[in-house]
Structure 1
Amino acid sequence: MARIRRTALVAALSVATVALSTTVALSTDLARPRPAAAAPPTAAVALGDSFVSGEGAGAYTPVVDVTGVAQPFPGWTAPNSNAFFCHRSANASLHQASLPGISARFNLACSGGQPQDIANPSANRAKGRQVAAQLDQLRAVGASHDIDLVLVGLGSNNSSFTFGNVAEKCANRFIADAWTGWWEFWAYLGGPVEQKPCADADLATAAQLNAATTETTDAVRQILTTLAEIDTDGQHRVVLQDYTNPLPFDLAPTYHSEDSRDDTRDKFRDLGAERYAAGCPIHRASLLPGHRFSQGLGTMVGAVRSTLAAEFPAADLVYLNVQRAFDAARLCESAGSPDGTLATPIRLQDGPNGTVVTSLAGKDKIAIQRIANTCVSYFQTCQESWHPNAAGHRVLGQCLTGAATATARAVTCVRSPDGTVTLG
């Protein structure tokens, strides 16, 4: 009996010793410092339309469409809705900017993008490209990266007007005026064709700009709300960039007249050919309305920033004004254009063949109409026209570099005649 009790006692002591050893081991293990979870890589993202996607800058990369397939260049006769024609460029300003601390950059913008494409697939609307909603693409980035910077270029295309239509309207009026008299157009097309310079209302009315401001504000609000949901550390700067006019306030004197004819005459083909070759087929009288249009877009972007800064007081929201970023380097601002300029000239193709028409000299009105119609039928053949080129995006990249670290809530980027870029 005593032996049994001693055996039981020994067993009990053994169990207690094991339990105590286990407890000590667990306590020691819990007390030992553990390595911290690795922070996700940081990212900068571009959202919006052609002025941030890199339209005009070349080096376009394949774009993933709504089915998840990466689309490379599909050929000149492919539908313009193909995702590739978002024209996301490796030379875009997002990739040109110096952004210390940023590990990866994602260009989610799409040429022709509109405010409604932020929350909805652009494939859902007429003339939209076959890509997913930009917010869905942003969420995918946020799942693997810490988003620290977002560049937004939005509003020049909307349900009231688009930059492409505005540019096409004013350029076509000049071309029609240069090559064909009013009576010829009446006889040839069976009705009058507008040939006068563009006025302010031809570009955007006050009501249209107000509507565009509302649409753009709604879209950026959706961006800020989504960022608050997906960016776990809550630290990110959103830069709202406006637009740069590719044309000057007036053309250099060498482009004012040719063969003793200016653009107030009926027919001025030599002058038309000269301006087309230089990249600026436009009436001089259309230039100031064009700049007022650009300034209106700037006012719109500034208003969006002010409205949303009041709604999101903790948001790091900066307005980047780039309207003077191309000073002294716009198309036809100096002799020798388009060499040395920061924007792409208007360039067309005579059929979707990939060969750019650089000269209209000696062509009659039938050839001019055929060439112009290529742009209408195959917009990808001309959509690079009047956008920042690769050199222009390098300048815009410098503007973004400054805006990424500026303490001011509104930043103006100005290029000096010597090429120096300053922010103020």
Structure 2
Amino acid sequence: MILVEVRPPIRPPEACHDDAAHSSRENLAIAIQGGSARSSADFPGSRRLRIRCGPRAAASPTPIDDSTAHRPAGRDHSPRRDPETALNSTVEQGMRTMADRGGRWLISASVLVLLASVVAVTVKSWDHPTDSEQPSTTPVGPLTVVTLGDSILSGEGAGAYETVTDGVNGNWCHRSANAVVHRLDVAGVEARINLACSGASTEDLLVDGTTQWTEPSQTHRLAELAKVHRIAAVVVSVGANDDPGFSRLMSDCLHARILLDPPCSHVIGQDWRQRLDAVVPKVSRALRDVRSVLAEAGYGKGSYQLIQLSYTSPLAPDIPEELRNLSACPFHTEDLAWIRDHAVGSLSDALREAAERADARFLDLSRAGHGHEACTGGDDLGSEWFTRLTLDWDSFGDAERVEHVSVQSFHPNSEGHRQFARCIGEFLGTADREAACVPDHDGDLRLTTDLPNRSGDEVFVAHPR
């Protein structure tokens, strides 16, 4: 568990400033869409949440009473943190918001009817923020963690979806009870809210953003939430469904294998760099809009955490040949190598830059799934953190659901979410500006400040098979 570490002497509050598939009997076009993965665990040892405080002021000590900390709305009262005094920081307001619309790592494939079917981290205890890190106008409500963005955080692939997001009235956000945010065990945090939505792009996070799967912009929902909850952290996963078109990439590569065409990466790689260059300002804008709505709600910049995640590859080139088919992982080896060793890493670089531009923290997940990708376990499915090609056969007879029959494919499963939550929670308890999640020798994810080079080419393989 992660316990709040309060190292005496504690400074007084005053000292802290701061995707349409249709079917016929002859042929069936299945949109294999990707989104967030669907997927509590006890972890040995304990982690401590650091609490940062600004320079000591000359005022006399007074008790912290966050119910009376009222400040002029809109002003940023966050402290300037000296690196040496960054030891003790407050995270006192929540992580919440995520909604995914049409960008769930979409994998569109035309397949014959004979087609074979194929994280409880403990960031424990967020203690009450210091006086200067309170929202300018203190909201009345529970301390909350919010997730925003696409399928990776909504929980696509992890199962146990909220009924209202499993196609009811056209809502396909697929928010899972097994999603990351619900696996975070944080003492002091009273609410964990998932606003992420499978298929979401940056447009769905803008203040004046689009409606996705019947839901309004995620930042719009965050703004409403911030009025009745005290937001401690907002964790964001977005960008893959924009210019990089990761879902389309996966779809094209799957088709290439099924139709016995040449590897898809030869074509996709031609303009990959340009796609990445285009997505950076979009992600940065979305993050700034998150900050904007929280500022309007009276939150100072230092009163909550804003974290941008990168993505990890759900597939690897070294999978058993007998699984390289429609029952599991039908991809060319060359394409899988390109996706894992280049596409994912270079996308991570772009998102890292976007986070820097928006003054947000960054957590690199590009190596997080290594050794646990879909199909790498062979007969041992339990060692895999991602879903294989997955079809919802019950949906084939439903005209409204048939286009979504494969959306759960190649996303983090429940165990994947548990592992991600483990590392994300650990990150929340540090003062590091950026870090990465990598598998340790025991197979669990751990946090490291050793980020990969910004080339997108070098990829660390922790557990080669």
TM-score (norm 1): 0.67
Paired AA for residue 285 in structure 2: D
* 1:168 equivalent among 235, 243, 251: 251
**Offset, 1:206:** 1.0
Paired AA for residue 414 in structure 2: A
Which residue pairs with 2:204 in the alignment? 117
Aligned residue runs from structure 1 range 86-235, under 5 A: 86-119=173-206, 120-123=208-211, 128-158=212-242, 160-177=243-260, 195-199=261-265, 201-202=267-268, 205-232=272-299, 234=301, 235=303
Q: Distance in 1 between matches of 2:310 and 2:185?
A: 20
Which residue pairs with 1:314 in the alignment? none
Conserved in 2, the CA contact under 8 Å of 1:93 and 1:393?
yes
Paired AA for residue 202 in structure 1: I
Conserved in 1, the CA contact under 8 Å of 2:144 and 2:232?
yes
**Offset, 1:73:** 3.6
Q: Distance in 1 between matches of 2:297 and 2:140?
A: 15
Conserved in 1, the CA contact under 8 Å of 2:393 and 2:405?
no
What are the superposed Cα offsets for residues 238-262 of structure 1, whole Å, 9 maximum, x if unpaired? 11111110112x224x42xxxxxxx
**Offset, 1:166:** 1.3
**Offset, 1:334:** 3.5
**Offset, 1:133:** 0.7
Aligned residue runs from structure 1 range 324-343, under 5 A: 324-336=367-379, 338-343=381-386
Q: Distance in 2 between matches of 1:200 and 1:219?
A: 31
Q: 1:301 to 1:354 in 2, by over 3 A?
A: farther
Name whichever of 199-208 and 234-243 sits farther off: 199-208
**Offset, 1:36:** 5.6
3-state SS, counterpart of residue 98 of structure 1: coil
Q: Distance in 2 between matches of 1:174 and 1:59?
A: 31
What are the superposed Cα offsets for residues 213-237 of structure 1, whole Å, 9 maximum, x if unpaired? 1211111111112222224465000
Q: Distance in 2 between matches of 1:231 and 1:244?
A: 35
What are the superposed Cα offsets for residues 127-173 of structure 1, whole Å, 9 maximum, x if unpaired? x4211011110011101011011000010011x34222111111111
Conserved in 2, the CA contact under 8 Å of 1:322 and 1:412?
yes
1:51 aligns with 2:134: no
TM-score (norm 2): 0.62
What are the superposed Cα offsets for residues 2-44 of structure 1, whole Å, 9 maximum, x if unpaired? xxxxxxxxxxxxxxxxxxxxxxxxxxxxxxxx99659532111
Name whichever of 109-118 and 96-105 sits farther off: 96-105
Q: Which has the larger radius of gyration?
A: 1
Conserved in 2, the CA contact under 8 Å of 1:53 and 1:86?
yes
Q: 1:294 to 1:47 in 2, by over 3 A?
A: same
**Offset, 1:97:** 1.7
3-state SS, counterpart of residue 348 of structure 1: coil
Q: Distance in 2 between matches of 1:208 and 1:230?
A: 34
Aligned residue runs from structure 1 range 201-280, under 5 A: 201-202=267-268, 205-232=272-299, 234=301, 235-248=303-316, 250-252=317-319, 254-255=320-321, 275-277=325-327, 279-280=328-329
Q: 1:200 to 1:43 in 2, by over 3 A?
A: farther
Q: Distance in 1 between matches of 2:343 and 2:397?
A: 31
Q: 1:224 to 1:200 in 2, by over 3 A?
A: farther
What are the superposed Cα offsets for residues 365-407 of structure 1, whole Å, 9 maximum, x if unpaired? xxxxxxxxx99x9331111111000000000101111111112
Q: 1:36 to 1:56 in 2, by over 3 A?
A: closer
Conserved in 1, the CA contact under 8 Å of 2:199 and 2:241?
yes
Conserved in 1, the CA contact under 8 Å of 2:143 and 2:191?
yes
Paired AA for residue 183 in structure 2: Q
Which residue pairs with 2:427 in the alignment? 403
**Higher RCO, Cα 8 Å, sep 6+:** 2
Tell me how large the CA RMSD over aligned residues is: 2.7
Paired AA for residue 239 in structure 1: I
Conserved in 2, the CA contact under 8 Å of 1:122 and 1:129?
no
Which residue pairs with 1:380 in the alignment? 404
**Offset, 1:72:** 5.4
Q: 1:331 to 1:337 in 2, by over 3 A?
A: farther
How many residue pairs get aligned? The number is: 310
**Offset, 1:333:** 2.2
Q: Distance in 1 between matches of 2:141 and 2:394?
A: 48
Q: 1:414 to 1:231 in 2, by over 3 A?
A: farther
3-state SS, counterpart of residue 219 of structure 1: helix
**Offset, 1:201:** 4.4
Structure 1 runs not aligned, ≥5 long: 1-33, 63-70, 178-194, 256-270, 310-316, 356-373
* 2:337 equivalent among 284, 288, 301: 288
What are the superposed Cα offsets for residues 198-223 of structure 1, whole Å, 9 maximum, x if unpaired? 22641652111111112111111111
Aligned residue runs from structure 1 range 71-82, under 5 A: 71=164, 73-74=166-167, 82=170
Paired AA for residue 236 in structure 1: Y
Q: 1:200 to 1:398 in 2, by over 3 A?
A: farther
Paired AA for residue 141 in structure 1: L
Which residue pairs with 1:188 in the alignment? none
Q: Distance in 2 between matches of 1:228 and 1:74?
A: 34
What are the superposed Cα offsets for residues 32-75 of structure 1, whole Å, 9 maximum, x if unpaired? xx99659532111111111111111111114xxxxxxxx35447
**Offset, 1:274:** 5.2
Conserved in 1, the CA contact under 8 Å of 2:147 and 2:193?
yes
Q: Distance in 1 between matches of 2:349 and 2:150?
A: 18
**Offset, 1:101:** 2.0
Q: Distance in 1 between matches of 2:214 and 2:234?
A: 23
3-state SS, counterpart of residue 200 of structure 2: coil
Percent of residue pairs bearing the same amino acid type:
26
1:347 aligns with 2:386: no
Conserved in 2, the CA contact under 8 Å of 1:47 and 1:151?
yes
Q: 1:43 to 1:350 in 2, by over 3 A?
A: closer
